[in-house]
Amino acid sequence: MIGGSLRRADRSPEGRPRPAAAGATGLTEQPGPATDPHVQDPRIYVGRFAPSPTGPLHLGSLVAAVGSFVDARHHGGKWLVRIEDLDTTRVVPGCSDSILRTLENFGLWWDGAVEYQSRQTERYTHALESLQSRGLTFECSCSRREASNTGDTGYPGTCRGGPTQPGPTATRFRIPDVADMRFEDLVQGPCEFESRSLGDFIIRRRDRVLAYQLAVVVDDARQGITDVIRGADLLASTAWQIVLQRALGCATPRYGHLPLVVEPQRGKLSKSRRAVAVDTRGAAPQLIAALQLLQHAPPGELERASPSELLAWAANVWSLHRLHGLREVRPPS
The CATH number assigned to the domain holding 142 equals 3.40.50.620
pTM given for the model: 0.84
Question: How many structural domains comprise the chain?
Answer: 1
Is the pLDDT score of 304 beyond 60? yes
CA distance 187 to 225: 18
Is the pLDDT score of 266 beyond 70? no
Per-residue model confidence (pLDDT) at position 42:
58
96 φ, ψ to 5°? -60, -45
CA distance 329 to 60: 10
Q: Give the range among 50-64, 71-85, 91-105, 182-196 with minimum mean pLDDT.
A: 182-196
Residue 169 lies in a domain: yes
Identity at 126, one-letter amino acid code: H
> Strands 328-329 and 260-261: what pairing?
parallel
Which one is predicted more confidently, 12 or 55?
55
Show the DSSP H helices in 111-209 as ranges.
121-133, 144-148, 195-198
Residue 46 lies in a domain: yes
Residue 19 lies in a domain: no
Is the pLDDT score of 299 beyond 60? yes
Q: What is the pLDDT of residues 15-56, one digit of tens each?
A: 443 333 333 333 333 333 333 332 335 568 999 999 999 999
**Contact (Cβ atoms closer than 8 angstroms) between residue 219 and residue 210:** no
Per-residue model confidence (pLDDT) at position 267:
53
**DSSP character at residue 181:** E
Q: Name the average pLDDT for the chain.
A: 84
301 φ, ψ to 5°? -65, -10
Q: Which of 50, 66, 58, 48 is nearest to 106 (CA)?
A: 66
Per-residue model confidence (pLDDT) at position 31:
32
Residue 22 lies in a domain: no
Residue 305 lies in a domain: yes
- Average pLDDT, stretch 302-309? 95
Residue 241 lies in a domain: yes
- Report helix, strand or coil for 147: helix
Per-residue model confidence (pLDDT) at position 263:
79
Q: Which of 202, 147, 127 is nearest to 170 (CA)?
A: 202
Query: Residue 170's domain spans which residues?
Result: 6-13+36-328
Residue 202 belongs to what H/E stretch?
strand 201-204
Residue 303 lies in a domain: yes
Residue 255 lies in a domain: yes
**Contact (Cβ atoms closer than 8 angstroms) between residue 83 and residue 114:** yes
